[in-house]
A and B are shown apart, each in its own frame.
Chain A
């Protein structure tokens, strides 16, 4: 057997979290004053202050794996599981703290589309710049230039600065450059989560070509559907460790089974916007058909339960915003604005439940933003992506058709009344032209 193209042994990455720092960056001033203080006070005191201002955090720990040439591997796991850190380590952007990785081929990584695009430069100039940034040589870019431009469908705007592009054009151009990379190993992070549904399909198709062409691909995505259709095997990361690896179907099964069990599922306040005032969300969870869970099928009714603390007697209304994997809002439910529901609360802790009927979400993962507001006036607290859940089955019974986010089907309501009316003649001829 040939040697694996990538092998990782005991790879770990440690970050130090700075707790008390007011600024995200160290400053020379602080470092110098700390040094001076250390000299004056003796080293022991200074070491103490050093210790409580830092906490260690292992983004990756003891990760071992081997990837064979030609494998297409999906890397899945929830937010913060270490997926991106793993990709960054593999693409040499950050150095591992422990362990060793052996790469036996040229690696190109695509952690973001349009890295290094400059708004002042034209489309043509950015193709060259971005190509070079992604590791292509000048000759390579020149030989693929026409192909790239055709793929992006921006021929007419080649000499327009990209700052005047629509966001769709921008993303198309950026992806087109990236799609024409030809490394032996391609590392891709969530780049399919861009553009409109049509273009996403095209990207997915291109990715399939790349994967089918015998190239080794590592693909991180929240999009379970895309992973299932592109990859032959998968890794599941949880809390920085590799918990499952093998054929894509079994790893995906393990992933969904685990997200179904509620152990680490729950309220995540990392996306809190600003500081809460007067009242705040302290906990939240999702009930699916009355049970704790974060996994449902599209015909499930669910309930969002929120525990909040009011600092004074207050009138509050709640708002719920459900987004798909791309962060695109699919459903917004401002109970105050829409139904005029205002909750009059006394100071203290309260539990607020909101029952949602089955809304027919296409399969894929979703996140929920939770908002406490004085209806139409101001927000008390807003936690983005406070909850996440997965819609696992969205199969239409009579036809066996599965609606997925990946194919651009967001929310598929059950109850649209459809009628057909005959139109005058010219409408018919128009339709006939479209469908010869």
Chain B
């Protein structure tokens, strides 16, 4: 018979089983966020396309015209998109998930469910946006009559890596957000700042050329470096993949995720008390 013991500070052995049991809730919360997001806007689904499209146009204009980066024969726009898309995905995942608990405070104080479902399901919204931008990227490729190499089939690997990279910090941020309400002001700053320290407007191989290979490996501690490099490599905007740098980035992401889950779980019990 199912026996459940509630006790202070008890690490629940059935936490992950519970998570599986509440998978429908995960699905419905994601579904709700997506529905609500596009329901009230005048443009409806068009808005979902327009928003990333406009951002893309601005990015392409700025980075290709003003920054004037070398692109090795690949159209500038595609080079920039290769950095911008995963970055946008990461940024919106991070901000969506970090606000997920506070904006669902009414659920947390009234119903039990594994709280991790909230930040996790908020990632789905970011994924939908990402899927739309991918379609846009395909259109841009068609416009430039650019054929991506076969290795584009590996793209999901890097999308997963981006998810992992976003979820770890997202979990930490959302837990901190519950406790310290002014933490939400930190997130936009991190997103802004991260844009410039990630290789969105330039290639990370530039770092190696200018500062040497050690600098590049250190630089790869930024989990988004591996994601963006890999992404560019998949679409053919980067000829080679620096495996060492990628491994470092992936490791950082994994550590952040592990740390994020641990931190989240240790603070989770108190959410209903402080939110």
- Chain A contacts to B: CB under 8 angstroms: 15, 23, 25-29, 31, 88-107, 109, 111-112, 115-116, 118, 120-121, 125, 128-129, 132-138
Q: Is the CB of A94 within 8 A of B106?
A: no
Q: Is the CB of A116 within 8 A of B269?
A: no
Q: Is the CB of A120 within 8 A of B39?
A: yes
**Contacting residues, chain B, for A135 (C-beta < 8 A):** 22, 25, 111, 113
| Contact A104/B180 with A115-B107, A120-B40 known, Cβ cut-off 8 Å | no
- State which of B6, B32, B35, B40 has its C-beta within 8 Å of the C-beta of A100: B6
Q: Is the CB of A132 within 8 A of B24?
A: yes
In the assembled complex, the CB of A272 is this many whole angstroms from the nearest CB of chain B, namely: 23
Q: Does B17 have its Cβ within 8 Å of any Cβ on chain A?
A: no
Q: Is the CB of B8 within 8 A of A91?
A: no
- Chain B contacts to A: CB under 8 angstroms: 1-9, 22, 24-25, 27-29, 31-32, 35-36, 39-40, 104, 106-113, 176, 179-183, 186, 269-270, 272-274
- State which of B104, B110, B186 has its C-beta within 8 Å of the C-beta of A111: B110
A134 to B107, CA, bound (A): 10
Q: Is the CB of B111 within 8 A of A109?
A: yes
Q: Is the CB of A109 within 8 A of B112?
A: yes
Closest to A130 in B: B28
- State which of B24, B269, B270, B272 has its C-beta within 8 Å of the C-beta of A88: B272
Q: Is the CB of B4 within 8 A of A121?
A: no
Q: Is the CB of B8 within 8 A of A133?
A: no
A96 to B32, CA, bound (A): 32
In the assembled complex, the CB of A69 is this many whole angstroms from the nearest CB of chain B, namely: 11
A137 to B21, CA, bound (A): 9
Q: Is the CB of A129 within 8 A of B110?
A: no
Q: Is the CB of B180 within 8 A of A133?
A: no
**Contacting residues, chain B, for A97 (C-beta < 8 A):** 8
29 examples of A-B residue contacts, CB within 8 angstroms: A25-B179, A26-B180, A28-B186, A88-B272, A92-B6, A93-B109, A93-B110, A93-B272, A94-B273, A95-B269, A98-B8, A99-B7, A100-B5, A100-B6, A103-B3, A103-B4, A107-B4, A111-B111, A116-B104, A116-B111, A120-B35, A120-B39, A120-B40, A121-B32, A121-B39, A132-B24, A133-B107, A135-B22, A138-B24
In the assembled complex, the CB of B6 is this many whole angstroms from the nearest CB of chain A, namely: 4
Give how many A-B residue pairs fall within 8 Å (CB-CB). Answer: 120
- State which of B2, B6, B107 has its C-beta within 8 Å of the C-beta of A95: B6
In the assembled complex, the CB of B183 is this many whole angstroms from the nearest CB of chain A, namely: 5
Please name 20 further chain A to chain B contacts, defined as beta carbons within 8 Å, in addition to the given A99-B8, A121-B32, sorted by A numbering: A23-B181, A26-B179, A89-B6, A91-B112, A93-B110, A94-B272, A95-B269, A97-B8, A102-B4, A103-B3, A104-B1, A104-B3, A109-B111, A116-B111, A120-B39, A129-B32, A133-B28, A133-B113, A134-B111, A138-B27
| Contact A133/B25 with A93-B112, A100-B7 known, Cβ cut-off 8 Å | yes
Closest to B184 in A: A28
- State which of A29, A120, A132, A137 has its C-beta within 8 Å of the C-beta of B36: A120
A406 to B13, CA, bound (A): 43
Q: Is the CB of A101 within 8 A of B5?
A: yes
In the assembled complex, the CB of B81 is this many whole angstroms from the nearest CB of chain A, namely: 32
4 closest A-B pairs (Cβ-Cβ)?
Answer: A28-B180, A132-B28, A92-B112, A101-B6
**Contacting residues, chain A, for B2 (C-beta < 8 A):** 104-106
**Contacting residues, chain B, for A98 (C-beta < 8 A):** 8
A376 to B8, CA, bound (A): 53
**Contacting residues, chain B, for A103 (C-beta < 8 A):** 3-6
A102 to B2, CA, bound (A): 10
In the assembled complex, the CB of B48 is this many whole angstroms from the nearest CB of chain A, namely: 16
Closest to B107 in A: A116
Most buried by B among A29, A91, A93, A129: A93
| Contact A95/B8 with A28-B180, A31-B180, A121-B36 known, Cβ cut-off 8 Å | yes
In the assembled complex, the CB of B110 is this many whole angstroms from the nearest CB of chain A, namely: 5
| Contact A95/B32 with A115-B110, A134-B111 known, Cβ cut-off 8 Å | no
| Contact A115/B106 with A94-B273, A120-B36, A120-B39 known, Cβ cut-off 8 Å | yes
Q: Is the CB of A137 within 8 A of B24?
A: yes
Q: Is the CB of A28 within 8 A of B183?
A: yes
A1 to B3, CA, bound (A): 17
**Contacting residues, chain B, for A121 (C-beta < 8 A):** 32, 35-36, 39
**Contacting residues, chain B, for A28 (C-beta < 8 A):** 176, 180, 182-183, 186
| Contact A95/B270 with A29-B182, A133-B25, A137-B24 known, Cβ cut-off 8 Å | yes
Q: Is the CB of B181 within 8 A of A25?
A: yes
In the assembled complex, the CB of B140 is this many whole angstroms from the nearest CB of chain A, namely: 33
A135 to B110, CA, bound (A): 12
**Contacting residues, chain B, for A105 (C-beta < 8 A):** 2
In the assembled complex, the CB of B195 is this many whole angstroms from the nearest CB of chain A, namely: 23
**Contacting residues, chain B, for A115 (C-beta < 8 A):** 106-107, 110-111
Q: Is the CB of B7 within 8 A of A101?
A: yes
**Contacting residues, chain A, for B29 (C-beta < 8 A):** 129, 132
Q: Is the CB of A27 within 8 A of B182?
A: yes
In the assembled complex, the CB of A46 is this many whole angstroms from the nearest CB of chain B, namely: 18
A307 to B28, CA, bound (A): 54
Q: Is the CB of A133 within 8 A of B36?
A: no
Closest to A11 in B: B6
A102 to B5, CA, bound (A): 4
Q: Is the CB of A125 within 8 A of B35?
A: yes
Closest to B180 in A: A28
In the assembled complex, the CB of A125 is this many whole angstroms from the nearest CB of chain B, namely: 7
- State which of A27, A88, A107, A112 has its C-beta within 8 Å of the C-beta of B181: A27
Closest to B102 in A: A25
Q: Is the CB of B6 within 8 A of A96?
A: yes
In the assembled complex, the CB of B240 is this many whole angstroms from the nearest CB of chain A, namely: 42
**Contacting residues, chain A, for B112 (C-beta < 8 A):** 91-93, 109
Q: Is the CB of B111 within 8 A of A93?
A: yes
Closest to B32 in A: A129
**Contacting residues, chain A, for B40 (C-beta < 8 A):** 120
